Structure 1
Amino acid sequence: MPTTEPQKAPSRNVLGQPLATCGREPTNPTTGFYRDGCCNTGPQDLGLHTICCIVDEPFLAASKALGNDLSTPRPEFGFEGLKPGDRWCVCAARWLQVQQAGAACPVVLEATHEETLQIVPFEILIQYAVIPDQLH
């Protein structure tokens, strides 16, 4: 008798809808803990890389100053470094740390995983929400 893999429930965003793609090549570096373009999470993702944000210079500078350098390339990890305008799945706690330091960047709620709400209140996320089509 053949066995099948159990069906995985679709990931949901902070709005309770199916999780949208955050970013992937060619316009953005392929993001996500699983490098699938989405802010999916699971037991191996100890940093909870669940907030889809559009990084800007103040966010990158504050993040670096707080010990999380996202702009310097790290070829040994296949990481080219982020530049302003890139979409990236960041750790919920790190995004909140930068927000508390006054340099939060825009968040794409449709692509931000619902697990984020364990760390960052929705009331804070909504203040930084953008609709990607409005950015063009």
Structure 2
Amino acid sequence: MTNTDMDESLNVLGEALKPCSSDPVTGFYRDGCCNTGPADHGKHTVCCLMTETFLAFSKSRGNDLSTPRPEYGFQGLKPGDRWCLCADRWVQADAFDAAPHVVLESTHINTLETIPFEILRQRALDMN
């Protein structure tokens, strides 16, 4: 995948998208950012701070993000890690009061197609 396969890298504030995490390396393109493009069917665009509550919720829904999977180069996530979540998974978790906090400056603008800005703002780490 090349940069030409990605949508414009803006965040939900309309500014340049900032990195979400390089340790662990996150993002659909594994570039540390919540970039997206036509190949990203899951829309991995929401930069979040992982919590024990969310990781347990995700595991209960069949997406175990906390168990290391060395065969895929995945070390597993722990509370405090930042990760680019699928927008739909975040919405699902929010409905169960399990959604992790969002980093607005690192959340891709395409997230707004799924989640209204006001909802993101209410759950933001970097905004009052």
Q: What's the TM-score once normalised by structure 1's chain length?
A: 0.85
Give the C-alpha shift of residue 115 in structure 1. Answer: 0.5
Note if 1:68 corresponds to 2:63. yes
Note if 1:41 corresponds to 2:36. yes
Q: SS of 1:12's equivalent?
A: coil
Query: What is the identity, as a one-letter code, of the residue corresponding to 1:74?
Result: R
Where does the alignment leave 5 or more consecutive residues of structure 2 unmatched? none
CA spacing shift, 1:93–1:9, aligned 2, 3 Å? closer
Query: What is the identity, as a one-letter code, of the residue corresponding to 1:31?
Result: T
Distance 1:127 1:66 in 2: 24
Give the C-alpha shift of residue 9 in structure 1. Answer: 7.5
Give the C-alpha shift of residue 121 in structure 1. Answer: 1.2
2:19 pairs with one of 21, 29, 39: 21
RMSD: 1.9
Distance 2:59 2:46 in 1: 17
Q: What's the TM-score once normalised by structure 2's chain length?
A: 0.90
Figure out how many residues of one structure are paired with residues of the other and give that number.
Answer: 124
Q: SS of 2:28's equivalent?
A: coil
2:102 pairs with one of 84, 107, 113: 107
The worse-fitting range, judged by mean Cα deviation, of 106-115 and 67-76 is 67-76
Distance 1:74 1:92 in 2: 23
Look up the match of 1:56: 51
Give the greater-gyration-radius structure (CA): 1
Where does the alignment leave 5 or more consecutive residues of structure 1 unmatched? none
